[in-house]
Each structure stands twice: as structure tokens, then as C-alpha cells.
Structure 1
Amino acid sequence: MTILALKEDRPTPKAVYNWRVYACAATASFAACMIGYDSAFIGTTLALPSFEDEFNFAQYTKSHLTLIQQNIVSVYQAGAFFGSLAAYVSSYFLGRRKSLLAFAACFMVGAGMMLGASGSRGLGLIIGGRVLAGFGVGGCSNMTPIYISELAPPAVRGRLVGLYELGWQIGGLVGFWITYGVNTTMAPSRTQWLIPFAVQLIPGGMLLIGAIFIPESPRWLFLKGKRDEALKVLCWMRQLDRSDKYIVEEVSFIDEDLERYRREVGAGFWKPFLSLKERRIQWRFLLGALLFVFQNGSGINAINYYSPTVFRSIGVQGTNTSFLTTGIFGVVKTALTLVWLLVLIDHMGRRKLLMIGAMGGSLCMWFIGAYIKISDPASNQSNTKLSSGGIAAIFFFYLWTAFYTPSWNGTPWVINSEMFDQNTRSLGQANAAANNWFWNFIIARFTQQMFEAWGYGVYFFFASLMIISVFFVFFCIPETKALPLEAMDRLFRIKPTWKANRILLEELRAENEEFQQSTQGIGWDNEKETSAEQVECGTAGV
């Protein structure tokens, strides 16, 4: 096998890797464009002179102004925390697709509210709109990875869930550059700062429209007992007939998994909560939460939300220079996300990416912190040119981006979307998304105060957490690539953790060979004839 060869759990028809599954995943990933755009545009927009003049920031003391700015940024994460939990309720009763529609509509209302803010009205509409928009993106951050993972073939599941991360980076890229654009091409005015706020409506509207046309998750339909509709969607998604061996096997995996959990845990809204009494379920919930602790502990959201503050700490001066440096940061992230998506996530695997990214990123953070400690660029504001040490610090900052982006940026979302069983997947993803937004909130709320209090120590703090995460991944996180969702329970039972994926893949291949031998001589055409409820959907649309 070459490095670019897909690793499959069983022989897979080429028809399975078709445009439909990519189109559905890409449509759902407009949710990530909403999230990524906000994380990038808000910090730089608050730094626009036109925004500062509109809301008379000059009247506040430095500490009061810091508090206002942090509140504007962080209420979004607070709303997202509750939205990610609410998505568990909506997904159970409405399904994945209708939940995306509902939360996208919520986001659009919140984004629209922000456009009504002005100096005379104050910041109330911005803060209220950000809470509501945050609630919407929180729900979408829960639903999108689940929806994609439930329709994805195992061999390309990482790549498809990775489209969610790609959408995040594309949104961020636009967010980083749009503020630079309005600052360099427009005179300071109300329109100048309104444009970045208004652009939020574009990805939100595209998700709202797109979610009307994509099908419901076939696994959710099976869970709700809607077998005919589930089979129709699954066959349409795979571009295979209902009697195809691949479809028969996939349906049998889903049925077996559902039956086992109905027997052991039970189906229903509250049953997944009862399953939390089991240690094996508690362990996976803890792992999902810790992945986002270490993701946020890398420093990424401090940089996303307060990039001007971060670059000033290194010695970058001037509004335009800071915005330009931030924009280049967005370009690097987006380009590396494409490499991660197309090559690394489904070929190198989740574990290796996380460990390599953490080790390399930590070394970069140690260097940046040491440079700030020794050089103290903040005290030398008279020199507008970066020293050679400052240039080296910028280089290591972008090198850190190169290590972080194809590892911790999107991989925790991929792992959380696939490591839970059918009955606890929605609740598990709600737990993961809520943890992500909780730590996002902490970072957004206290980053500027951390820089004021700790200075270079902030970089040492992030570097230390990244080193700890290497040991956490090696001993606690099994490799999940190429495995069916229904095999995840078996994966987490196998020890040692670092060998679990290889052991389970060998077991699955052996079982598949036995299955193929047992079906030899049994005419698949007989199954066609005996299936009165057969759904002919190889060429039918949904």
C-alpha cells in the first residue's frame, strides 16, 4: 500500500466514494464557515478606528475597555455553549437536518440584530445578537460532525468530517482579510465596520438554503424505525442497489449495533444519560472533553480572537501591519488544512498527527516565549522595525501554525464524531461541543488579562500543555481511522491502546472473509425476490 492508498475495513465498491456524499458534507460544512468567520473577524473589527470612534472607546479606562471588548467577544461562546447542549434535544426529536435548519435560522436572526447597532443605540444589539448567533453556531457545531460521520464511508470519514474544518478555515481566511480590506480601501465610517458584521449572513444563508435539499442522516432514520426511508437514503448516498453486498453488510452492522444498545442500554431520550453510569461510556466522554481542553490549551483561540494583541506582544506595530500579519496567518492555516484534509487525516491517522503537532508546536511556543522574555519588545515601542530576533519569532509563529493546523485544529472534531455508539453519539457530541465552547469562552474572556499579567509566561503555559497532550494521546486515544462506526465499542476495549486499531482491523478483515465464504452459493438474487419491502433506489433521488 502507498501512503495515498485508502485503508478500508472491507472491500468497498468505487461507487461508494461518489459526489453525493461529498456534496452533502460540504453543504453541512457551511456551518463551519459561520464559526470560522466569527473567530477571525471579531477581534480585528473591534480594533478598527471607525468602530472605536462609533462607540466612543476613548472615554473608557484601559481596564474598562478591555472588559467591554472581552464581553463582546465572549458572549458568543457563552451562547454557543448552550446551543451545543440544546442540539441534543433537537437532534433527538427533529433529526440532524432539521436541527441544522433551526440553528442556522437562529444564527441569521442574531447576525441581523448586530447590524442595527450604532453609537446612539449603544452596544446592546451587538451583544444580544452575538448571544443569539452563538446559540445558533453552537447547535450547528454539534450537528454538523455527527451528520457527516453518519453518512460517510469509513475509509474517507476523516476526510469528509475534515470538510467541516476546511469550512472553518475558509471562513477564518475571509474574516482575517476582510477587516484588512476595509481598513486599507475605505475611509473610517459606520459602513466600514458594518461590512464585516454583514458578511456573516452569507455563510449562514448558504447553510439555511442548502439544508433544505440535503437528506436526513440514514443512521438517525434507522434509529427512529423509519427503515424504508433510511434504506432509500443510504442507497442513494452509496449509489448502490439495496441488494448489493456492501449495503446488506452496512445495514446488518447498523441493525446489530442498534439491537445491542436497545438490549443493553435502551432507546429513548433519557436512556443515553443512564448509560453514563457505565465506566466505558464515562471514559469516552472524558476523552472527548480533554481533547478540547488540549486543543484550546494550544493557544489557537487566543490567537484567533486577539491576534492584534498576540502580534503586538511579539513586536509587530501598526494597525495595518498587524492586520496583514494576521491575514497571512489565515492563508497559512487554510492551505495546511487542505493538506490535512486531502492527504493526512485518512492516511497518517489521528494519533500520529496529534502527537507530532503537539511536539513541534510546543518547541515553537518555547522559542517565542523565550524571545519575549529576553528581548521584551513591548517596552521598545519607538523602533517600528522588527529585530532579527523578532523576525525569528514571527517565523516560529508560522512554524507553530504549520504544526498545529494539520493536527489539533480539526482532528479532535473528527475523533469525537466517530468514537461514540449510535445511542450516545448525539449526547457525546453535545458534551464535546459544549466543552469546546466552554474553553473557548474562558480563552475569549481572559486572554487579554493573561497577556497583561503573565506576558511571555502565556507562551510557556501553552507550550507546557502541548507537551502534556503528547502523553495523553499516546496512552489514552486509540486510532479510529478506517473503522466502521459500529466497531468503536470493540476498539476501546482492546489494549494496549496504541495497537488497538491494527488488531481490530485484522479481526474485521477475518470476519469479512468468513462472511464472504458463508454467502458463497447463496444467490443474492434470491434475496431480491424474498424482500417484499425492497427499495429500488440505486438510481433514485431523495
Structure 2
Amino acid sequence: MTEKDFVQVVKPRDVGKQGSEKKKKTKAEKHLRMIATISTLGGLLFGVDTGVINGAIGYIASPQELNLSPSNEGLVTSGITLGAAFGAVIAGRLSDKIGRKRLLWYLSILFFIFTILCATARTATALIIFRALLGLAVGGASVIVPTYLAEISTPDIRGRVVTQNELMIVTGQLLAFIVNAGLGNYFGHISSIWRYMIAFGTIPAAALFLGMFLIPESPRWLVMVGKNNKALEALSGIRNTKKDCESEISQIQDALEQESEIKQATVKDLATPWIRRLVLIGIGLGVMQQFIGINIMMYYGTTILQQSGFSHNAALIANIFNGIVSTVATIIGMSFMNRVNRRKMLMTGIIGTTISLALISIVSATLSNSSFLPIAVILCTMLFLGFFQGFISPLVWLLLSEIFPQNLRGLGMGISSFFLWFSNFLVGYFFPVLLSAVGMTFTFLIFVGFNILSFWFAYKYAPETRGKSLERIQMEFQYGSSSGVNPEDK
């Protein structure tokens, strides 16, 4: 059929219909973007609540306020991640019972209440407890937000939408650094200004609470509990046509039927060599990500800069550059993910972080009396964050999502996430203790050692998953391959 014939066949009524469908498509896409933005406020809160302590801890530890010992300083800082370890484990099963949207709504309430309690705490013990309870919401959001995003997205945009949460986390940390710098520089003479820094987290918490009234429940969860009509209603606003909605519901039903026929792995299955090996690799990836040292920068960036010679107010401002580098590096890393082999990207990142930490140790030892030391340290921390956020952080979460087969995903992700968060807690707790005991040079040398061990682990055990189906990845682990899988563990 020629173009002329086609024009003659299409009646004015058909043209109007096509225009209407195009308009509807645009409206559906806009609605989906709005839903993704609202739900990733959970990721933003994650970033704000883990980043705000960076500037607040100096005020909290002062004799005029809570007069923290190095040990208590570590507990105040990292207590949130200890709570997150348990929140991450509990959230998945709880969301299956009450729904993704409802759990996010409850988490927004927890974020708000415990942020207020943290901001008004009168003793170190109370602040440690409230930070740990706030961590339950942080850990829950870290699991539920990506799950919800994956379930409302279409396959062609799923990767971009889900990784938006990672971007929101580093954006939240940057926002916290900016607020810390603003409050610290204008009201730094008020020792209790840390309470306002922490209280800032109530704003995104309130936004998440209100936003929950504007987004639908996960269609997949609705089908899972037999509410097909509500699932159709939820999809109608984020898909182009009714036919698309009905087709997707049918696909969800088929997938759920197949999943119900698969026996889910339990702790007893760890007796199987290839399953045990896979779970241990997942644990290793999580521990490796944290022991590389990212959270000594996220939690103690201001402290490190002060130790190197910055005044407190200057350190708060300089730390903003760390946040900018983290955000930009995350965006760049997301664009590399599907074009560069995972192992190559991961090991390149670890080489970069190792060099960065070694340089901090060297300059702190050799330039201790030089005015160039503060500049050298901020450049090294920015280099570290660029390599970590661009090459390591997104890749570890991606590998964890890829290496576990469907029947092992719940067990594997639960155990790996717990160890990841617990390692986060250990790093956050021991860093100020080490800094007080052995100084900056030797503390960073210890983390150089952890980086070297991490490189060895990545080289020996990290699998290559780019361009492979989930089924092929499972077969390689089960029956052995040349990608770091021992053929003896069949």
C-alpha cells in the first residue's frame, strides 16, 4: 500500500483516535514518572538520614551537648545501619502480607516519628536507640522501593526506573550536606543546631506520607492476593491501553503460577555446595562493598576534613563537593553498566578506591604541617567517591539482583542484605574509635588493607553476568564455569 492509499483509507475519525492514543500514552508515561518520583522519596530519605549525621556529629559530640566518647560517637552514627539490617530482612515478607504501598506509608510514619525523637533526644543512649529504630525504616525502604519500582515498570524502562532509587539516595546525601553547611555556617554558634539538621528529615518524610495517597498499589501484589479488578484499575493510569493492562495481568498470573510450582530455598538448602557457595559470594559482595570504606566518607567526611586542617564551617562547605561528585559519578556509572563487563568495572573501581585511600595516608603523613594538606585530602576523598559511586556501589546491588535464581532469591538477598548492613554498622562504629586511637594516617592504611582484600575477593569470586540470562548464570554456578566458579562444587 502506498502512502497515498494509506491516507485515503484513514478516515478523519481514525486520525482522531490515533491522536487520542498518543496523548493517552504521554499521560501514562508522565503518571509513571510521577509515581516513580514519589516512591523514590524513600530513597531520598535513606540518603538524608544517613548523610545528615556527617555534619551533625561534631555538634552532638561536643561537651556542651551530649559529650560523646569515640565509642558512643560510633554508635550514634552507625546505629541507624544496625536497625537497617533488621529492617531489610523483615520488610520483604511484611510487604507480601500487607502490600508495598501500605508498608511504604507505614515507613513514612516511622521516618517522621523517629526523626523527631532523634532531634529531641536528651541523652546519648536515647539518641542511639532512636537512630537504630529509624534504621528499621531505612532498611525497609532500601528493599521495598526497588521492589515497588520493578513491579510498576514496563520491561523497556525497568532498569532506568529502578536505578533512579540509587540516584535519589546520593541526591538525599547531597541535600543533607547542603543543609548541614547552611545551618552550620549561619547558626554554627548555637551548639544545639544539630537538632535542626536532623529535623530536616521530617520534610521528605511528610512528602512521602502525602505522596502515598497519589500512587497506586503494586499491580503484581494485587494479583497475588486475588484483587484482579483493583490491579486492572491500578494499571489503567500507567499503561497505554486497556488491552495492555489485561495482557499484563495475564502475564502476572502466569508468572505467579510458575513461581508457586517452584520450591523456595530454605536454610537447610545451604548444605548443597553450589547454593552455599552462591550465598557466600553474595555475603562477600555485601561485606566487600562496605569494608572498602564508603561510609567513612558519608558519615565522617566533615570530621576527616577537620582533622586535615579545615575549620568546621569550611569542612561543611567542602563536603558539598563530595556530595556533588557522588551524584555525578552515580549518573555516569549507570550509563556504563550495560556497556562494560561487570568484573572489569568492579576491579577498576577497587583499584581507584585503594589508590585514593593510600594517597590520603601518604599526604596526612607527609604534609601534616602544610597548608596544602586540606586541599590534598578533599581531592583524594572526591577521587575515592568518584570511583566508588561510579564503579562499585551500583554494581554490587546489580550483581546481587542477578546471581540468585528465583527459588533462592528470598534467602540469598535476605542474608546478603543483612551482612551488608551489619558491615556498614561495623565500619561506622569502629572508624572514630580507630581515628582516636591511631590517628588518620594509620586508620586509612587499615582501610587500604581492606581494599586489597576486596580486590582479591572480586578477582577470585565475583562472577561476570553482563549479557547472560538469569538461567545461564544459575547453570554456571550449579555446574561450574571459567568465571570464578569451582567445577568441583556441582
Q: TM-score of the superposition, structure 1-length normalised?
A: 0.74
Q: How far apart are residue 323 of structure 1 and its match?
A: 1.7
Partners of 2:85 and 2:154 in 1: how far apart?
30
Q: How many residues align?
A: 458
Partner of 2:298: 304
Counterpart selection for 2:392 from 374, 390, 408: 408
- TM-superposed CA distance for 1:471, in Å, is 5.1
Q: 1:403: Cα distance to partner?
A: 1.2
- Counterpart CA distance in 2 for 1:237 and 1:401 is 36
When structure 1 is superposed on structure 2, of 414-423 and 289-298 the one drifting more is 414-423
2:345 paired residue number: 353
1:261-340 correspondence to structure 2 within 5 Å: 261-265=259-263, 279-313=273-307, 315-340=308-333
Q: Distance in 2 between matches of 1:410 and 1:475?
A: 20
Structure 1 residues 34 and 432: CA distance shift in structure 2, 3 A: farther
Residues 245-256 of structure 1 mapped to structure 2, 5 A cutoff: 247=247, 252=251
Q: Residue 90 of structure 2 aligns with which residue?
A: 86
Q: Hey, what's the Cα distance between the residues in 2 that align with 1:260 and 1:280?
A: 23
CA drift of 1:435 comes to 2.1
Separation in structure 1 between the aligned mates of residue 234 and residue 162 of structure 2, nearest angstrom: 19
Match of 1:437 among 390, 410, 421: 421
Deviation readout 1:196-237 (Å, 9 max, x if unpaired): 121011121222222333233333344445455445545654
User: 2:47, 2:86 → 1: CA distance?
Assistant: 18
AA in 2 matched with 1:33:
L
Q: How far did 1:191 drift?
A: 6.0
The Cα offsets for residues 358-401 of structure 1, whole Å up to 9 and x where unpaired, read as 2222222222223334x162xx4xx6x225xx644443332222
Residue 242 of structure 1 corresponds to 243
Deviation string, structure 1 residues 403-430 (Cα, Å, up to 9, x no partner): 1111223332333345545555455443
Secondary structure of the residue aligned to 2:393 is: coil
> What one-letter code is carried by the residue in structure 2 that aligns with 1:316?
G
- Cα distance change on mapping 1:312 and 1:367 into 2, 3 Å: same
Q: 1:240 to 1:419 in 2, by over 3 A?
A: farther
Match of 1:540 in 2: none
Q: In the alignment, which residue of structure 2 is the partner of 1:40?
A: 51
Identical columns (%)? 26
CA contact (8 A) 1:106 1:136 kept: yes
- Asked if the contact 1:149/1:157 (under 8 Å) is kept, the reply is yes
Corresponding residue for 1:166? 167
Change (3 A) 1:286 1:136: same
Residue in structure 2 matched with residue 368 of structure 1 by the alignment: 360
Q: Is the 8 A contact 1:476 1:497 kept in 2?
A: no
Within the candidate set 437, 445, 450, 2:434 is matched to 450
Contact 1:145 1:414 in 2 (8 A): no
Per-residue deviation, 1:296: 0.8
State how 1:170-181 maps to structure 2 within 5 Å: 170-181=171-182
Letter of the 1:442 partner, please give it: L
Residue pair 1:265, 1:274 contacting (<8 A) in 2 also: no
Q: Deviations over 1:286-306 (max 9, x none)?
A: 333222211111211011111
Report the counterpart of residue 12 of structure 2 in structure 1: none
Once the two structures are TM-superposed, the CA of residue 137 in structure 1 deviates from its matched residue by 1.1
Q: Is the counterpart of residue 65 in structure 1 residue 66 in structure 2?
A: no
Q: Do structure 1's residue 220 and structure 2's residue 221 form an aligned pair?
A: yes
5+ long unaligned stretches in structure 1 = 1-12, 58-63, 501-542
CA RMSD of aligned residues (A): 3.5
Q: Establish whether residue 29 from structure 1 lines up as the match of residue 40 from structure 2.
A: yes
Tell me the CA shift for residue 35 of structure 1: 1.8
TM-score by length of 2: 0.81
Task: Name the CA distance, whole Å, in 1 between partners of 2:401 and 2:207.
Answer: 23
Shift of 1:457: 3.5
The Cα shift of 1:446 comes to 0.7
Letter in 1 for 2:433: Q
Which residue number corresponds to residue 460 of structure 1?
Answer: 445
> Relative to 1, partners in 2 of residues 1:155 and 1:362: Cα closer, same or farther, differing over 3 Å?
farther
The residue type equivalent to 1:34 in the other structure is L
Please list the CA deviations of residues 279-335 of structure 1 after superposition, one character each: whole Å capped at 9, or x if unmatched: 55544433332222111112110111112332245x233212222222211121122
Write the deviation string for residues 255-296 of structure 1: whole angstroms up to 9, x where unpaired.
565444433406xxxx75566565555444333322221111
Shift of 1:134: 1.4
AA at the equivalent of 1:365: L
In 1, are the aligned partners of 2:100 and 2:217 still within 8 Å (CA)? yes
